[in-house]
């Protein structure tokens, strides 16, 4: 994600912090200042850092569970409203989604249990005073070990309860979709879960506006937009599953030879609508040249070099019998927008993300026309 920087790498996953995360640190400092001045401000920042450490562990719970099911995780990004784990693709098995969704809150349950046991042990040993374990005004405790432990304990319990609200795309909403998918299938389950999520979002938004709770209002917007996006994603997935890659590739695509120059690609770009070209050697692709590759070459080198010098030699293959949805998921997983279509060992052509978008538009139009004809009949 843009405007973010990496702070760690755990289990092969980049942990990144968005620049807007500074807002939550400022909020912690301000809340702590109100309770105990400069010392309280430092304590408030510490609380925010520890809270988002718990959030990171929550997202790692999701991510490691996803990895166990063969789903790569690109990164985890920490934002002012929480953390987001970016999976390379969504789970298609409802049981997998159920386990992945539950894994995050379970981490917070474990953290809360550990903190509760630590509190009880410290009290039994006389290290802390149970009577002091009360928040002293406002959202932040005064600086103390007791206050820190109680605040983190309450925060983790709150994270569990909030995330288990059955409002898509929160964890509870994903659990709801997974359970519904076992009964009515993933497409209908996604629509139902998204609708429920948006109903919750409207309720949160009304409460946030009436009470002047800006954070709750922002959460409501996040849930409403997220539910709509997940519903749209589900519709795309359903449509693309109905068609094969072999039906979408360009059978008359222009190709390049390993000995061709960049100027030939420029000529193709100017005289055709094709943006991607396979570089062939004895009829077999050895690389792919995209429009972006050509533009970078023109900007950095005035020489008319060979296409072999600018091509991407990593070719992601997909079978012609695979669905368009499988091609889309493969692109997301491998971080590419172009895949090579094969029938066995025979190369057929290229399919790009733009081809999939066009296919989705055509399929959507055909379905609308069919529905209109059925309605007229």
Residue 329 lies inside a defined structural domain of this protein? yes
- Which pTM does this prediction carry? 0.73
Q: What is the pLDDT along the chain (377 residues), one digit of tens a residue?
A: 667 788 888 888 889 988 888 888 888 888 878 877 888 889 888 998 999 999 999 999 999 999 999 888 888 998 887 888 888 888 889 999 999 999 999 999 999 999 888 877 776 766 666 555 454 444 677 777 777 888 899 889 999 999 999 888 889 999 999 999 999 988 888 889 999 989 999 998 999 888 888 878 888 888 888 888 888 878 777 778 888 898 888 888 899 998 899 999 999 999 888 889 999 988 889 999 998 889 888 888 778 888 988 999 999 999 999 998 889 888 888 888 899 999 988 999 999 888 888 888 888 877 777 777 777 66
Residue 67 lies inside a defined structural domain of this protein? yes
Please identify, among 188, 207, 240, the residue that sits at the C-terminal boundary of a domain. 240
Do both 282 and 313 map to the same domain? yes
Do both 26 and 105 map to the same domain? yes
- Following CA atoms 155, 160, 162, 165 in sequence, which dihedral angle do they give, to the nearest 10 degrees? -170
Provide the domain limits for residue 58: 1-164
Please identify, among 217, 240, 263, the residue that sits at the C-terminal boundary of a domain. 240
List, as one string, the DSSP characters of 201-225.
HHHHHHHHHHHT-HHHHHHHHHHHH
Do both 5 and 66 map to the same domain? yes
Please give the Cα distance from 50 to 44 (Å, whole number): 10
What is the pairing mode between strands 82-87 and 256-257? unpaired
Closest CA to 197 of 163, 158, 169, 217: 169
Q: How many beta carbons lie within 10 A of that of residue 162, not counting itself? A: 16
Counting the structural domains of the chain, the total is 3
């Amino acid at each position: 994600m843009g405007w973010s920087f990496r702070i760690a790498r755990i289990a092969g996953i980049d942990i990144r912090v968005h620049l807007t995360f500074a807002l939550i640190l400022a909020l912690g400092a301000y809340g702590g200042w109100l309770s105990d001045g400069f010392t309280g401000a430092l304590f408030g920042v510490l609380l925010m850092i520890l809270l988002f450490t718990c959030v990171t562990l929550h997202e790692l719970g999701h991510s490691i569970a996803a990895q166990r099911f063969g789903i790569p995780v690109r990164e985890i990004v920490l934002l002012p409203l929480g953390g987001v784990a970016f999976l390379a693709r969504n789970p298609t098995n409802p049981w997998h989604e159920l386990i992945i969704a539950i894994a995050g809150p379970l981490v917070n349950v474990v953290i809360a249990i550990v903190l509760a046991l630590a509190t009880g042990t410290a009290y039994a040993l006389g290290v802390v005073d149970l009577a002091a374990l009360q928040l002293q005004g406002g959202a932040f405790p005064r600086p103390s070990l007791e206050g820190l432990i109680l605040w983190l304990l309450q925060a983790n319990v709150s994270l569990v309860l909030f995330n288990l609200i059955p409002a898509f795309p929160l964890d509870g909403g994903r659990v709801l979709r997974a359970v519904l998918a076992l009964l009515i299938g993933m497409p209908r389950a996604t629509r139902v879960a998204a609708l429920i999520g948006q109903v919750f979002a409207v309720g949160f938004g009304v409460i946030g506006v009436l009470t002047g709770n800006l954070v709750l209002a922002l959460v409501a917007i996040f849930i409403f937009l997220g539910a709509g996006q997940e519903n749209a994603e589900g519709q795309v997935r359903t449509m693309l599953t109905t068609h094969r890659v072999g039906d979408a590739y360009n059978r008359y695509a222009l190709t390049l030879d390993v000995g061709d120059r960049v100027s030939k690609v420029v000529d193709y770009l100017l005289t055709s609508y094709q943006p991607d070209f396979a570089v062939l050697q004895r009829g077999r692709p050895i690389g792919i040249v995209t429009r972006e590759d050509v533009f970078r070459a023109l900007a950095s080198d005035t020489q008319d070099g060979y296409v072999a010098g600018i091509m991407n030699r990593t070719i992601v293959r997909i079978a012609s019998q695979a669905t368009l949805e499988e091609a889309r998921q493969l692109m997301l997983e491998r971080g590419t927008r172009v895949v090579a279509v094969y029938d066995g060992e025979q190369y057929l052509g290229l399919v790009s993300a733009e081809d999939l978008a066009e296919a989705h538009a055509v399929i959507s139009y055909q379905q609308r026309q069919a529905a209109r004809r059925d309605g007229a009949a």
